[in-house]
Structure 1
Amino acid sequence: MRNAAPKQAMEWLAAAAADPRACKREWEHGESGTVLLPAGRFWDVLVVPEDLGLLALDALLRLPRTEPGPTLADTASRRVGFFLPPDPVSRWVGTGIRYAGRGAWIAVPPPYRAAGALRWLVPPDGTGTLHTPTSVELALFQAAVAADCRR
């Protein structure tokens, strides 16, 4: 890592682990390059089907005055995960949608590279920026409409 941004992102993401130093060691020297991190403390993850997620991310990137949060793709399971603020009462409903909050675990690669089928579409920036639930909801709606129009 040559500049501070990847290091800051790694510190921020590893802070979710019970042992942040072991987490960083696994990213740097581990066999798989991924770690399981608990959701619900610093962030939750809304996991959606890949086609819907990619369209929604495109919509999010076009929203004015919206800073995108970390977005993770799993190319093996064809799913996209949007990192959101923790919300123990949040309920997201839809076909193929999974909400990972407190008690759930997320397989996460290091913020500076892909690991296996996991890659960052929008890597964490280290500042704690997350997607807002409202912007993700709007983007998913726009993505669903766009997908419907393509049929």
Structure 2
Amino acid sequence: MTGAKTAVEWLASVAPDPEACRWEWERSPLGVTLLPAGRAWDVLILPGDLGCPTLDVLTRILDQPGPVLADFGDNRVGFLVPPGTAARWLGTGIRTAGPGTWIVVPYPGRSARGVRWLVPPDGSGTLTDPALLELAMHEAAAGPARKRDLGG
């Protein structure tokens, strides 16, 4: 459980009161907390039909991408990226969470209502590189077209 504890410390560090956040989060029956984006990370939120294939591409080229969240229907997939990314990101259909926004975050290593980790944080602060994420998105988006062109 050391990895989960480290991840909890890393995530809770962005809360206005990290100690109170950890205390409530560890005891909450819902297993989720609201955390502010824009301090240690921003979030790029992709539609599930692009986000899931993008994560597949990333896991083929990286040993460990940054943390990735999804709702239980996989309708939306959120990639934790460096702070400042949300303010600079331009992309149709891509939502961003940066300074002034809060996101629902499940406790690492536990299932929660409505949201789960596809790639849980390891506590090291590893985030997905936005340029690499963009390339993976292009690859994922081209995948279905490439299959059609090849008769797949």
- The TM-score normalised by the length of structure 1 is 0.90
Gaps of 5+ in 1: none
Once residues 8 and 137 of structure 1 are traced to their aligned partners in structure 2, the CA distance between those partners, rounded to angstroms, is: 28
Please tell me the residue identity of whatever aligns with 2:89. R
Stretches of structure 2 that go unaligned for 5 or more consecutive residues are none
Verify: 1:135 aligned to 2:132, yes or no: yes
Pairwise CA distance, 1:149: 4.1
1:124 aligns with 2:121: yes
Corresponding residue number in structure 2 for 1:78: 75
The aligned counterpart of 1:35 is 33
Determine the structure 2 residue equivalent to 1:90.
Answer: 88
Contact conserved, 2:68 with 2:78, CA < 8 A, in 1? yes
Equivalent residues of 1:92, 1:98 under 8 A apart: no
- Once residues 105 and 147 of structure 1 are traced to their aligned partners in structure 2, the CA distance between those partners, rounded to angstroms, is 33
Q: Mark the structure with the bigger radius of gyration.
A: 2
Paired residues of 2:31 and 2:110 also in contact (CA < 8 A): no
What's 2:96 paired with? Answer: 99
Of residues 50, 53, 73, the one that matches 1:52 is 50
Equivalent residue letter for 2:131 = T
SS in 2 for 1:42: coil
Residue equivalent to 2:22: 24
RMSD: 1.7
Listed one character per residue, the Cα deviations across residues 59-111 of structure 1 (whole Å, up to 9, x for unaligned) are: 001115x530000011257100000000164123112x101111111100011
More helix by share: 2
**7-16 vs 74-83, which moves further:** 74-83
Q: Does 1:8 align with 2:29?
A: no
Q: Percent identity among equivalent residues? A: 52
Instruction: Measure, in 1, the Cα distance between the counterparts of 2:147 and 2:52.
Output: 14
Q: Give 4+ residue runs of structure 1 displaced > 6 Å after superposition.
A: none
Please give the per-residue CA displacement for 1:101-122, whole angstroms capped at 9, x wherever unaligned: 1111110001111211211000
Count of residues in correspondence between the two structures: 147
Letter in 1 for 2:48: E
